[in-house]
Amino acid sequence: MSQICVKNLYKDYYGVMCIFDFNLEVAKKSTAVIFGGPGSGKTTVLKLICGLEKSSSGEILFNDEVPDKKLKTRNCALVTSSPLLFKFKSVYDNLAFGLSLRKESKAKINSLIKDALAVTGSEYLLNKKKRELTFEQEQLVCLIRSVIRRPAVLLLDEPFSSLEYLEKFIKLSNHFEQTSIYATKKLEFVKKLNSHTAFLKDGQVLEQGMFSDIAFHPKKIDTAKLLQFNFFDTKIEKSKTFEQDDFKTVFAINPDCMSFKNKFKNRLRSSFIYSDKELNQSMCSVDGRGFIVSDYTERNYGETVDVYYN
């Protein structure tokens, strides 16, 4: 059963549509990723899920139920890149504040704080004040404060700038079995999370699925651009199955897969595995590596072609 299910979500501001038919399912105790460039709509989606913004249409379900409009009943925690801590309180007091408001026992508060700091290797921060913390340490304290209050879903809007602190989030999330949605524009973060990922551009989901599946075989050119594929002008020469010579193409290679077997001179042999006739996009693979060939010819599954590049 899905912890969070977003169905056919739309959002417009003063008649300008910014989120188009957004769909996402997040399983319990898992992390989903929303990956897109600046202005793609990541923050807006998170605000819609937690109730800070009202959707124009669509459904957001928590455990298959429509949540109350009140923010309190949704039990969401939103962590942003701008940490907010009490200036004159210690890290311990900042972490304990939310739990104290919920009338948790002193013993439980101490146990949760000690556990979270141990998991992230941050016990040395316990008695420090805000002025003694680095910016990223402040971000980490805000994350821990949100996690230990055990929200139904943790929403993260680019809370870190380094992989070191992302690893701390992963450890914390796994330890507390936290359901999370992580929004980021950084490809290296998406690779590290390696989870169910929605690729977002201009408020629309290009495609979604496990990152490891899409990373080498994206179905759309825009997805390949987000994955920072390298593009080359190429041509496909006539073969037994083609009736036309020298098809003009766009050839894109995943930069993580730049080494190919069976390569000689400037030729790569590939097997065609996908075609999108409407968008004139095709997909090929070379020795298990992925790239896209965009042209104007229908292909058959498993057909072998030779791709030449300059």
The confidence score (pLDDT) of residue 227 equals 86
pLDDT of the residue at 219? 77
Using the predicted structure, report yes or no on whether residue 234 has a pLDDT greater than 90: no
Stretch 99-125: mean pLDDT, rounded? 92
Specify the higher pLDDT residue, 11 or 308: 11
Indicate the domain borders of the chain. Answer: 2-214, 221-309
pTM score: 0.80
Band (pLDDT 50/70/90 cuts) for residue 218 is: confident
pLDDT on residue 251 = 54
* pLDDT tens readout for residues 84-102: 899 889 999 999 998 998 8
The single residue listed with the structure tokens 């050119």 is 221
Assigned fold of 2-214: Rossmann fold (3.40.50)
Q: What is the full DSSP assignment across 241-254? A: T-SSS-EEEEEEE-
Task: Indicate if the pLDDT at residue 233 is higher than 60.
Answer: no
Which one-letter amino acid corresponds to residue 114? K
User: Looking at per-residue confidence, does 59 or 71 come out higher?
Assistant: 59
What average pLDDT does this structure show over 192-220?
A: 89
Q: Look at 257 and 173; give whichever has higher pLDDT.
A: 173
Residues 6+ apart with CB under 8 A from 153: 3, 4, 26, 49, 50, 62, 75, 76, 77, 179, 180, 181
Instruction: Give the pLDDT band of residue 158 (cuts 50, 70, 90).
Output: very high
* 40-44, 79-83, 182-186, 212-216: least confidently modelled range: 212-216
- What is the average pLDDT across 197-213? 92
- Compute the mean pLDDT over every residue in the chain, rounded to the nearest whole number: 78
